[in-house]
Structure 1
């Protein structure tokens, strides 16, 4: 059962340290972007994406730009069979309208049969929704995760893999093996996707594609567009159009 709603309204650079909730959370943004870290995964929640955090799961959040949206707080137990693990899903236009309809009904405080039906349709739609592409697994090994944080912070744009590996106390070979084993991507692939996720902040704020490419370490904008499309399923320009809707 959905217990309450909470407006999501944060200014750029807002950071919420790692915390947990007694309720299960379903959240989405209508404007801006939220970077979430939970369960060894780094996510970018943008318009058209919904996020799910089960009860008592530690997670942190970072808003690189102003973010507006809403959170639905669900009972920690109940008949709503939602995912057991944190995840993000692509929200169809119908699912977005359904979320809006449910959030309008919950504050009334009357859990009517109509609202219960809406909740079940909402669960069915979430189950059918495809996983969003803007997520990136983090290595579980503390040393490899340190390198991952270097890359996410932009340090990887100026430091080579060998230098970052050495700073983390690893050989390049061990670092490469850990990334493949624990993230499913080669280090090079992981770094490319991390750059794409970092670029969302700049694209969301209206930065030209060519400038966004430079800011995340690409000297060739065409190469950036190819990599962006590979990981996000759309071009940077298409993402900017979606973000403005």
Structure 2
């Protein structure tokens, strides 16, 4: 189990923002807390963030805001590249006091990468300190991501979702999955609804939608994404996308590029 960084333990108002770059293979971080609030962000790969208040599946177009002293852990089922920042308690006014997923703008992404290059020993006056102030301004304007993917704890349901996270294109029915996990279709369906608040089909659609947003953000074509996620046609994929977000995948990509 990967041990947490000590960066979040630094208390120094003269360093309003500190950062860390960490490349992780398939690992599970130990649950931990720290006095600094954290924007947990991966520039590559999808991570699972487990907190005492909820669980998020986070693509590289999103990040998770974690207030001070909220227990959390990171689970990587694939290689991820963390570029995360921590905010000193003296500078958290105006920032969320609950865990939430946020959409990462191109500006915020660039600021995070710049903060990582600057490091954590910048002077209290100068351009480096001013850039940290810009980061705080940007964080205060961050928009909550519209999507949240509930992550259940029940062993049978987790077996299904872990397989789907690894292969979101898998189109097996609830009947097929129930045979895999040793349950009846009715029981597995009931567990999905109880554990996630969503039906099996709705949960898988949400997973595919979040995967699609991540891949479209990386420049993949609508057609490529549709077939890689198990859809038989781009029209079926576009219909799903529009029903969830109210816009077509092409329009969504254009909006994100212009943001």
- TM-score (structure 1 length as normaliser): 0.70
Q: How large is the Cα RMSD of the aligned pairs?
A: 4.1
Distance 1:79 1:5, change over 3 A: closer
- Aligned CA distance change for structure 1 residues 162 and 85 (closer, same or farther; 3 Å): farther
Q: Does 1:141 align with 2:157?
A: no
Counting matched residue pairs gives 233
Give the drift of 1:209: 2.0
Alignment-derived partner of residue 177 in structure 1 = 190
**CA offset at residue 37 of structure 1?**
3.2
Q: Deviations over 1:140-183 (max 9, x none)?
A: 32221222222222277253211212322322122222222232
- Unaligned runs of 5+ residues in structure 2 are 1-12
Cα pair distance change 1:153/1:141, threshold 3 Å = same
1:80 lines up with 2:95 in the alignment: no
Is the deviation greater in 223-232 or in 34-43? Answer: 34-43
Equivalent position of 1:37 in the other structure = 49
Structure 1 residues 194 and 188: alpha-carbon distance in aligned structure 2, compared to 1, 3 A threshold: same
Which structure dedicates a bigger proportion of its chain to strand?
1
Question: 8 Å contact 1:102–1:119 — kept in the other structure?
Answer: no
Superposed counterparts of 1:63-78, under 5 Å: 70-75=83-88, 77-78=89-90
Confirm whether residue 89 of structure 1 aligns to residue 102 of structure 2: yes
Against the structure 1 CA distance between its residues 161 and 116, is the aligned structure 2 distance closer, same or farther, given a 3 Å change threshold?
closer
Which of residues 127, 141, 154 in structure 2 aligns to 1:125? Answer: 141
> Is residue 2:250 matched to residue 1:237?
yes
Q: 1:85 to 1:45 in 2, by over 3 A?
A: farther
Query: Does the residue aligned with 2:153 lie in a helix, a strand or coil?
Result: coil
The match for 1:220 is 233
Structure 1 gap segments, 5+ residues each:
none
Which residue in the other structure is 2:29 paired with? Answer: 18
Cα displacement string for residues 36-68 of structure 1 (whole angstroms, at most 9, x for unaligned residues): 332453423334x3422344411223567x86x
Q: Partners of 2:109 and 2:216 in 1: how far apart? A: 25
Q: TM-score, normalised by structure 2?
A: 0.67
Aligned match of 1:186: 199
Q: Could you tell me how far apart the structure 2 residues matched to 1:197 and 1:97 are?
A: 18
Q: CA deviation at 1:88?
A: 1.0
Deviations 1:209-236 (A, max 9, x none): 2232122111021111121233345433
Task: Tell me how far apart the structure 1 counterparts of residues 166 and 28 of structure 2 sit (CA, whole Å).
Answer: 16
1:234–1:105 CA distance, 2 compared to 1 (3 A) = farther
1:6 paired residue number: 20
